[in-house]
Amino acid sequence: MGRRIWWILGGGLALLVLALALGPVIYAALDEDAPPAETVRAQPEGTVLSAETDGTWTVADGSSAGYRVDEVLNGVDNTVAGSTEQVEGTVVVEDGALTSAEVTVDIASIATDNGRRDSYFRDSVMDVARYPTAVFTVTEPVELPELTGTPVAIPVTGDLTVKGTTQPVRVELSAVRTPDGVDVSGSIPVTFADHGVEPPRLGFVRVEDTGSVEFLLRLTR
């Protein structure tokens, strides 16, 4: 009887060790890569587009922003993306030039497909109690190409403020005129250490040192 109990205990311990070893691999296999970022789309031929672009534009409903990072989970690569629709800001166009813009993102509301990851991101990584928002500001005027229903590329120089630290950035925007206004999308490469952000290193999970801030803005007047 005693030997049987030891066999049962030994078998249970072996299963526990196996579960701990294979659990992260199984989790990674089930945790699919995040889908590609949403970007602006060409408008169907014949679409009636908005009027001229000069004026002050406001970031409207349907806009989104967030982050994208690569992580390694027990040796398995995975791409994670979090986003929020809590985005606000203004863009000013004068005489065909982008003269100023400021976009603010509510970091505390960014979410992925994993609540535990989101909680750790908000509290331990980003410290949203002290730094609740991230801000992108255009710092140099840009002459705009003609905006039509077909996306065009616009290189922009600006400042990105994350976790209280501001760094100069350069991003290539993609813009298209729509019936309601102008849609703009882009992705800003980020090295986390430049903003005082420590990438998570949690046992079998390791997040890469770089990622991107991505956004899709619906601009209306």
**pLDDT tens for each residue of 92-117:** 999 999 999 999 999 999 999 889 88
Say yes or no: 82 and 8 in one domain: no
Q: How many Å separate Cα 98 from the centre of its chain?
A: 24
Alpha-carbon distance of 72 to 93, in angstroms, equals: 43
Q: How many domains does the chain have?
A: 2
Say yes or no: 24 and 98 in one domain: no
In this model, does residue 73 exceed pLDDT 80?
no
Q: Which residues of 12-26 are buried (b: 16+ CB within 10 A; e: fewer)?
A: eeeeeeeeeeeebee
Q: Look up the pTM and report it.
A: 0.83
Q: What is the model's pLDDT at position 145? A: 96
Q: Shortest CA distance to 44 belongs to which of 150, 173, 185?
A: 150
Say yes or no: 162 and 73 in one domain: yes
Say yes or no: 19 and 96 in one domain: no
Alpha-carbon distance of 130 to 124, in angstroms, equals: 11
Q: How many Å separate Cα 22 from the centre of its chain?
A: 30
State the residue range of the domain holding 45.
Answer: 33-220
Q: CB neighbours of 180 closer than 8 A, spacing ≥ 6?
A: 50, 60, 218, 220
Say yes or no: 52 and 24 in one domain: no
Q: What is the model's pLDDT at position 117? A: 87
Say yes or no: 195 and 209 in one domain: yes
Which of the two residues, 74 and 79, has the higher pLDDT score? 79
Lookup: tokens for 32 = 């699919």
Say yes or no: 12 and 86 in one domain: no
